[in-house]
Amino acid sequence: MSNTFKDTFLKNKRALSIGLILVCSLYIGAIFYATPDKLFTAFSKMDLFNWLLVLSCSLINYILRFIRWHYYLRYLQHKIAVSQHFLYYMTGFALTLTPAKIGETIRSTYLAQHYVPYTHSLAMFFTERFLDVVVISLLSLLSLEMTNGISSNNINNFIFLSIIVIVSFIPLLRQFFVTRFLEFLRNKIYFKKLQSLLKHLIHLLGIARELFSIKPAYNGIILGLIAWSIQGIAFHFILTTLNVELSLQQSVGIYAISLLAGALSFIPGGIGTTEAVMTLLLTLLGADTATAIAAALISRISTLWFAVVLGFSAAFVLSLRKDN
């Protein structure tokens, strides 16, 4: 491992160990709750070709998100060789289970060696995460088609208006009146934790203002939509392989809602929360418990844990290079 990665890894080894123990406990509990034989039967439907297909979708997702990250770097007028920058980006995934977004700190540390200010890499991180939440929120609107008792026209109109409002709102974030309004709210609130949260948000909006211009913001949304839609399609393929009969729209909606739940839980990687919500939604739509748990675990193995493996692989490659 490179010294940068090794030092950060050792400092957070305890947090990583606790995270892994928690993950193992949750997954083992899920296996016994669904009964091992039923879960094994569901898993056995995924042959080598199926695994390669869903892993390829995940890899395409990471590549598209890297393209967006690299685009932001170039937009801020920094130049780094694409191959090396890709390794920096992927290394961040290795520390997904650490608190406080240490994985992103690793990227910032590597970029600082190429004279990229921490404020710029932090702006890239905040913009990427914010636009991902926007994109996944838009995809989660697809789940409204699963509701009953509402006319299709009303649903479609609501979805259309929601998309227009959300997408149109983004360029406003770079306007100074937004930060002034948040500052006004912060001064009127007496809860210190909320005050601190608003203070950090104001700071992040300030340094990310340039990336919320129309061109980088909407280019980021387009790349994000493609990347996360591909991941949603992969989830639909998993469900189809496990004989869960849902429409593509429903599958993508369930996947997006589960990711949102994981993000809102503030648990590193959304561990436990994402799998639980995914399983719950699938069972509500008719899937048996064992198949729903299997689908959730297969999805997370092919996304989160695949990313962690790629992250450690990237860190190992960097340790062999002398130019990082």
User: Where on the phi/psi map is residue 193: left (φ > 0), alpha (ψ -120 to 50), or beta?
Assistant: alpha
Q: In total, how many domains does the chain have?
A: 1
* pLDDT of res. 233: 96
Q: Pick from 288, 289, 242: which is nearest to 47 by CA?
A: 242
Taking the chain, what is the end-to-end CA distance rounded to the nearest angstrom?
11
pLDDT in tens, 288-300: 888 999 999 999 9
* pLDDT of res. 183: 77
* pLDDT of res. 303: 94
- CB contact burial 94-132 (16+ within 10 A = b; e otherwise): bbbbbeebbbbbbbbbbbeeeebeeebbbbbbbbbebbb
> pTM for this structure?
0.84
User: Where on the phi/psi map is residue 69: left (φ > 0), alpha (ψ -120 to 50), or beta?
Assistant: alpha
Low-confidence ranges of the chain (pLDDT < 50): 148-151
Evaluate whether 260 touches 311 at the Cβ level (below 8 Å).
no
Transcribe 40-91 into DSSP letters: HHHHTT--HHHHHHHHHHHHHHHHHHHHHHHHHHHHTT----HHHHHHHHHH
User: Where on the phi/psi map is residue 80: left (φ > 0), alpha (ψ -120 to 50), or beta?
Assistant: beta
Dist CA 295 CA 21 (whole Å): 22
* CB contact set of 21 (below 8 Å; sequence gap of 6+): none
* CB contact set of 216 (below 8 Å; sequence gap of 6+): 71, 72, 75, 127, 210
* pLDDT of res. 150: 47
Dist CA 152 CA 160 (whole Å): 12
Cα 275 to Cα 20, 103, 203, 243, 310: the distances in Å are 15, 22, 33, 19, 21
* pLDDT of res. 2: 66
Q: Pick from 280, 290, 278, 288: which is nearest to 236 by CA?
A: 278
Helix 289-300 to helix 214-241 angle (10° resolution) is 140
The whole domain housing 284 covers 3-320
Secondary structure (3-state) at 212: helix
pLDDT in tens, 249-285: 889 999 999 998 888 777 777 788 898 899 999 999 8
Residue 235 phi, psi (nearest 5): -65, -40
